Amino acid sequence: MDEAAGILSGTPTATGRAEVTVSATIDRPVRKLDEKALIWGREQVLSTTTEHVGTATQKFVIDVQ
């Protein structure tokens, strides 16, 4: 799976039905700003953390012929 494009690719090794499960997680960076500097129009980043936004899972069956 290409994480950047979200494309699932590959070559099956056998024919038949196959169950596939794909999960995706979205995280985003969160910046903590210096509020005293921000009042004066200056953006000063004090720290950066990562916030977990959510996860989704999709299950499906493919039929390889």
Residue 59: per-residue pLDDT: 95
Residue 7: per-residue pLDDT: 82
- Quick check: pTM over 0.95? no
Residue 18: per-residue pLDDT: 87
Local structure of 28: helix, strand or coil: strand
* Per-residue confidence band for 49, with pLDDT thresholds at 50, 70 and 90: very high
- Amino acid occupying residue 31: R
Residue 56: per-residue pLDDT: 95
For the beta carbon of residue 37, count every other beta carbon within 10 angstroms.
Answer: 13
Q: Are 59 and 21 in contact (CB under 8 A)?
A: yes
Q: Where are the domains of the chain?
A: 16-64
Q: For the chain, what's the residue count? A: 65
pLDDT in tens, 30-47: 999 999 999 999 999 999
